[in-house]
Structures are given as structure tokens and as C-alpha cells.
Amino acid sequence: MNTVEIIKRKRDGGKLTKDEIKFLIDGYLNGSVADYQITSFLMAVYFRGMDDEETLNLTELMLQSGDIIDLSHIKGVKVDKHSTGGVGDKTSLILAPQLAALGVYVPMISGRGLGHTGGTLDKLESIPGFRINMDEYEYKRTLENIGCVMIGQTDRLAPADKKFYALRDVTATVDSLPLITSSILSKKLAEGAEALVFDVKMGSGANMQDEDESRKLAERLVSVSKKFGKKAVAVLTDMKEPLGYKIGNWLEVEECLEVMNGKKVDDLLKVNNVLAGAMLFLAGKAKDVREGENIAAQALEDGLVYKKFLDMTSAHDGDAEYVKDYKNLKRPVFSRKIFSDADGFVHKLDAFGFGMASVMLGAGRKKADDKVRSLPGIILNKKCGDPVVKGELICELFADEEKKLDDAVPYVEKAVTTGAEKKSGKKLIIDIIY
Ligand code: URA
């Protein structure tokens, strides 16, 4: 087989066999295929796409490039959730302990924030001591003892994806349907869950901007998962405005702790509990997503989810006392308030703009190796549709340095739109795909 011939066929819109894709992946991992050749291959896939069979083969080969964790010794259903990424998108922090409290095991391998979207691992690491690296033995033991575990991708899980992703990130080849599908699923299939729920975001704060493409991604994630024998559901959710009121690593943990202790944050609770409902449905603990949503909402009322979160924090060597002290608001030194310049209603809180502002404040990264800060971020005082009067607080920005506030403010000012008329209601759950 010849690397150039394979790239050329994909470049010209042809279909690749499983053996050809294997030849490229193996060659890349053993050094006989170069970075620049894989980059050309990725760009060819970006423009020419892959059909269902090629996507399935690519996923399987990336999955087989590393270990596949076997959790069959743990009796009980294991279900995970994956989000395509958003702003203020913090549901993993609630869902893992919530499902564990309801008797469903959640083995979760999460990612870091990149670009305008936040990442679960960065949020967890805002808890002092919280360790997101575990070997397979500890991962399994924690899952068994606590009911949930949240770690980062190890070098042994889907290493082909790790290497591909690093290239895609710097060669404008991230937003390709077959590449995203195979990347997400090669990791999710390796972690040992029997069922998967996908939260596919739609709107300015999502990674994939085109709504039709997001729907196709949701459909493909479900269909490819099923071909691997997994149960799967995708929920298409709104990401035009940030989810909840708090954006930033510790701020998002804080908001989740508030919710676990009874605070009603409507949009966050709705999206969270529909996802939890889908997980319970796949686990066989609810007859449909609606019933699962009600069970999930009830579980948040009795304090068990919060207790489970504390147990998980301790199991990961995180400082549970720091977590328990969440009411003692931890804020960086510098802050700035943004006020409404008119009477009326909030029409837009553009999620992309808020995500970029959060990066400028130090809560996110501009490059993959940037260090993120724990406390900076944004607290919204208004949500879309809320009435507002001139001079009223829209949001407050927090940073460790004054200069970062100066950099972030223009993004927020551009992201906020008010108007005289009240706009009709927003739709948080766009669709559910089985
Ligand atoms: N998340 C992933 O893990 N991979 C992608 O390609 C995009 C989002």
C-alpha cells in the first residue's frame, strides 16, 4: 500500500477501505507515515467527508489503537454522557454524582476547555488537590466504590485520537463530521460504558456552528454507537446563551454545588435533568426520558447528590472542606460590572462572546498548553428574556489582573443586546434522537 495513493483517492472523493485506513493509522503511530501526510489526509476528509462505513472503520481502528477498559466485573449498568462543548456547560459535574446516587455507574473520561468552550477537567481542578489522572486499576476501584469517576484521557486510551486531535487543532480540521464522530466515540467506547448520552449543542456557543451539521452529528453519534452494540440517545440542546448564571472554572463548580443544595437555576436544571432522564432511560431505570427527568429532579431534592459529589472529590484527593465552604464566595481581586444602557428586555447574551470573554479573563485557553486560572469568570445577573432598566446590572466580570478585565469587556459589550419588545420564549431542548 502507498500512503500518497490513499491520500490522493480521498482527495478526489473516493472511498477508503478499512485496510487503507489501518495502514495510515498504524503508520502514523509507528512513525512510517509523517505528520504532514496525516494532515493532508485529514484535510481531504474535511472536504470530501466519509460515508457511514468509513466512519465506522475509522472509529474502530482509533479505538483499537489503545486499551479498551473492561468493566464487566462491576454489576450494574454503566452509562456516560458526552457534551460537544459549550459555555457555562457544567452538567457533567451534577450528572455523575446524581446518577451514582440513583444507582447507575458513571465512568467518565472528560476533556479540557479549548477555544471559547469550557472543559470539565479544568473545572474539577479548580478544587485544590483534585487529581484527574488515574491508572486503570484506580479508575475501576473508584467507580466501584463511589459509583462515579471523572478522569482525563490517558496515553493508553485511543492514542491515535490523541495524536490526530493535536494535528486537527492546529490545521483547521476540527469541525468535520466523520472526524468528530470517530474522535469522540473512540474515547467513549474505550472507557467501558454500555450506554451513552450525547448532549449536542446548537447555537453560537457550540463548537459546530451549522445547525444541520449538528443534527447530522447527533444522528451519526447515535447510529455509530449502536453499531458498536451500545445503547445511545442524543439530546440537541440550545447554546445561544450561556447555560446557568456562572461561567468560569470554580464559578461553575460553585453553581453546581448551589444546585445540589436546592437552588433553582431553571435552564441548567432543565438541560441537566433531561440528560439525566435519558441516562436513566438507557440504564433501564425509567420507562422514558420524561419519567427519568422526574426521578432525576427528585434526587436533587434530598441532598444525596451533594454527598456523592463530596465522596467523589475525596476519592480524587480533592479538598472536600474547600468544596463545603462554597457559600463563602471565593473571588479574585479585580472585578468590573456591566450595566444596561437602556430600558426593555434582554434580547441576546451571545454565548460565543461570553466564552471568549471568559478566555480573556484567564478561565480558558488560547493555545492547548496555556494554563487556566481557577477563580476568574463571569456572573450573569440577567438571562435572555428578562426585563431590564437602564443602569441595572447585566453581569460582573472577575480576573486576577486589571488588564484582563480590559481585554474581556469589549467581548461582553458586543455579546449583550437589549430591545424594547419582549421576545417569545426560548427552546432549550431542541430534539431528542434515539
Ligand atoms: N471533542 C472530541 O473529543 N473530539 C472532537 O473532534 C471534537 C470534540
Domain harbouring 403, CATH code: 3.90.1170.30
With beta carbons less than 8 A apart as the criterion, state whether 195 and 83 touch.
Answer: no
**Which of 33-37, 80-84, 175-179, 242-246 is predicted least confidently?**
175-179
Residue 69 lies in a domain: no
CA-CA distance, 199 to 85, in Å (whole number)?
A: 8
What pLDDT does residue 385 have?
A: 95
Residue 361 lies in a domain: yes
pLDDT band at 208, cuts 50/70/90? Answer: confident
251 and 389 part of one domain: no
Q: Which of 384, 46, 410 is nearest to 245 (CA)?
A: 384
What pLDDT does residue 240 have?
A: 95
Domain harbouring 225, CATH code: 3.40.1030.10
Whether the per-residue pLDDT at 366 is higher than 80: the answer is: no
**Which of 6-10, 44-48, 169-173, 335-339 is predicted least confidently?**
169-173
pLDDT digits (tens, 9 = 90+) for 110-144: 988 878 888 999 999 999 999 999 999 999 999 99
Decide whether any atom of ligand 1 lies within 6 Å of the 94 Cβ.
no
264 and 359 part of one domain: no
Last residue of a domain, one of 324, 348, 377: 324
343 and 304 part of one domain: no
What count of other Cβ atoms lies within 10 Å of the Cβ of residue 12?
A: 9
In ligand 1, which atom is closest to the CA atom of 184?
3
Instruction: Note down the domain range covering 11.
Output: 3-49
Residue 139 lies in a domain: yes
Distance 88 CA to ligand 1 centre (A): 18
Atom 3 of ligand 1 has which residue's CA nearest to it?
A: 184
With beta carbons less than 8 A apart as the criterion, state whether 233 and 222 touch.
Answer: yes
**Which of 196-210, 299-313, 381-395 is predicted least confidently?**
196-210
Decide whether any atom of ligand 1 lies within 6 Å of the 173 Cβ.
no
**pTM of the model as a whole:** 0.95
Cell 475509522 belongs to residue: 58
Residues classed as catalytic: 82, 161, 168, 183, 187
140 and 278 part of one domain: yes
Whether the per-residue pLDDT at 209 is higher than 80: the answer is: no
171 and 95 part of one domain: yes
Cell 486560572 belongs to residue: 373
For the chain, what percentages of helix, strand and coil (3-state, to nearest 5) are there?
45, 15, 35
Half-sphere exposure for 47 (CA within 13 Å, toward CB): 13
What pLDDT does residue 41 have?
A: 98
Number of separate helices (H) and strands (E) present in the chain: 17, 13
Distance 123 CA to ligand 1 centre (A): 18
**How many domains does the chain divide into?**
3
Decide whether any atom of ligand 1 lies within 6 Å of the 360 Cβ.
no
345 and 281 part of one domain: no
Distance 187 CA to ligand 1 centre (A): 9
Whether the per-residue pLDDT at 356 is higher than 90: the answer is: yes
Residue 189 lies in a domain: yes
pLDDT digits (tens, 9 = 90+) for 270-285: 999 999 999 999 999 9
319 and 341 part of one domain: no
Mutate to test the pocket of ligand 1, among 165, 176, 221 (most ligand atoms within 8 A of CB): 165
Q: Quick one: angle between helices 304-315 and 289-301, nearest 10?
A: 80
Residue 167 lies in a domain: yes
What pLDDT does residue 225 have?
A: 97
Q: What is the mean pLDDT of residues 10-24?
A: 98
Residue 67 lies in a domain: no
Half-sphere exposure for 193 (CA within 13 Å, toward CB): 33
239 and 105 part of one domain: yes
CA-CA distance, 211 to 204, in Å (whole number)?
A: 10
pLDDT band at 166, cuts 50/70/90? Answer: confident
**Which of 145-154, 166-175, 302-311, 384-393 is predicted least confidently?**
166-175
Domain harbouring 15, CATH code: 1.20.970.10
CA-CA distance, 63 to 181, in Å (whole number)?
A: 12
Mutate to test the pocket of ligand 1, among 116, 183, 199 (most ligand atoms within 8 A of CB): 183
Residue 358 lies in a domain: yes
Q: Which of 256, 260, 261 is nearest to 243 (CA)?
A: 256
What pLDDT does residue 425 have?
A: 78
Last residue of a domain, one of 289, 324, 359: 324
24 and 163 part of one domain: no
Decide whether any atom of ligand 1 lies within 6 Å of the 184 Cβ.
yes
Where in 155-245 does DSSP place strands (E)?
A: 195-202, 231-238
Decide whether any atom of ligand 1 lies within 6 Å of the 182 Cβ.
no
39 and 110 part of one domain: no
Residue 356 lies in a domain: yes
Decide whether any atom of ligand 1 lies within 6 Å of the 186 Cβ.
no
236 and 117 part of one domain: yes
Distance 267 CA to ligand 1 centre (A): 25
Q: Which of 237, 256, 235 is nearest to 245 (CA)?
A: 256
Distance 183 CA to ligand 1 centre (A): 5
Chain mean pLDDT for the chain: 95
Decide whether any atom of ligand 1 lies within 6 Å of the 185 Cβ.
no
11 and 125 part of one domain: no
